[in-house]
Structure 1
Amino acid sequence: MTDQTKPLSTADAAYVAFVEAAWQRHLRLAMLLTGDRWRAEELLQDSLVRMYERWRKLSRLDDLHAYLRRALVNNHTSVWRRRRRESLVAEVPDRVGPGGGLDHDALVLRRALLSLPLRQRAVVVLRHYEDLPEREVARVLGCSVGTVKSQHSRALAKLRHLVEQPSHSGIR
């Protein structure tokens, strides 16, 4: 049998190179937004498919990663709105420590992060995980810098409260 696959066009090759370079970085972002690896992969795939549909135009952008970040946040918000609810409980290991995955502090922080409202979680993830300045977070989320600041302040206050609660000390 002969391999009759067509060679990739230049645009398709550029898209494939972008996906390969962006996959792991943006999968981690999607996981922090969704709280679940499978939903994160689905969110990232959907966002990348939408990018591919407009690739010829988008490939001229200066920062494709910024575009994909915004697409992930917007698509996650759309999915959340369609479902009219957000799952606040992610799959976490039964045990903590050796062989159980996350250490105690990471588990507590993850659960606290997943309990935040969608917008607050997005602000915290973009500010602290993606290390974006407030102005860029505002651009990604389509809101004002003041909104980012207030959402960030509320989110950090809630995270501090949740992490300091004694009920988390019983996590095994």
Structure 2
Amino acid sequence: MKGAVERDREFTEFVVRQRASLVRVATLLLGNDRAQAEDVVQTALTRLYLRWPRLRSDSVEAYARRCVVNAVTDDRRSLFRRRERVSDQLPEVAAVDAQYRDGAPLMALLAKLPKRMRAAVVLRCVEGLSTAEAAAAMGCSEGNVKSQTARGLERLREMYPKHAHDFV
């Protein structure tokens, strides 16, 4: 059995390797809200850390993606997020992440898709996961992933017809 120091080292190495990818997925799922994506990934990594000793090394990445998808869903259900927040200060305007600047129209379109459809399109088409990996991350069947992806791509083609060829 591994000691706590060894487990912490392995977890830290995993986070260093995978955090950027997890933030990218969360950002896409949240409609380009980078700050919220950072919060969601932190929540997901906390959950992952608590389960770390019981995870198999071959399933850690899939479990981490599942944690992110679940954290996005939980965040949207949160009463705190639905309440109006009053402030006497104007909100700061979030800077658009350089990696998404050219994809701004795509980000706006993804934000218009329902959350499950957006998750399927992001995981399959942007992240390049297999149907089985996306199904594991979303907690649904492979058939559901296939249908959500197909419907999502069709909606994107309808919303942005001049770039329909971009949506594989």
CA distance in 1, matches of 2:68, 2:23: 10
- TM-score with structure 1 setting the length: 0.75
Q: Which residue of 2 aligns with 1:113?
A: 110
Q: Which residue of 2 aligns with 1:138?
A: 135
Identity %: 40
Are 2:41 and 2:71, in contact at CA under 8 Å, matched by a contact in 1?
no
Q: Which residue of 1 aligns with 2:74?
A: 78
Tell me, what secondary structure is at the counterpart of 2:120?
helix
Q: Specify every segment of 5 or more residues in structure 1 that has no aligned partner in the other structure, as ranges.
A: 1-7, 94-98, 166-172
How far off is 1:68 after superposition? 0.4
How far off is 1:63 after superposition? 2.6
What is the total number of aligned residue pairs between the two structures?
A: 145
One of 139, 156, 160 as aligned partner of 2:157? 160
Are 1:73 and 1:141, in contact at CA under 8 Å, matched by a contact in 2?
yes
Tell me, what secondary structure is at the counterpart of 1:54?
helix
Counterpart residue identity of residue 48, structure 1: L
Counterpart residue identity of residue 26, structure 1: L
Q: Specify every segment of 5 or more residues in structure 2 that has no aligned partner in the other structure, as ranges.
A: 83-92, 163-168
Q: Deviation digits for residues 136-165 of structure 1, max 9, x if unmatched?
A: 222221222221122112111111111138
Instruction: Return the index of the structure with the highest Cα Rg.
Output: 1
Tell me, what secondary structure is at the counterpart of 2:124?
helix
How far off is 1:91 after superposition? 5.5
Q: Which residue of 2 aligns with 1:11?
A: 7
Counterpart residue identity of residue 62, structure 1: D
Q: Which residue of 1 aligns with 2:148?
A: 151
Tell me, what secondary structure is at the counterpart of 2:39?
helix
Q: Which residue of 1 aligns with 2:124?
A: 127
Q: Does 1:47 align with 2:48?
A: no
The root-mean-square deviation of aligned C-alpha atoms, in Å, is 2.4
- TM-score with structure 2 setting the length: 0.77
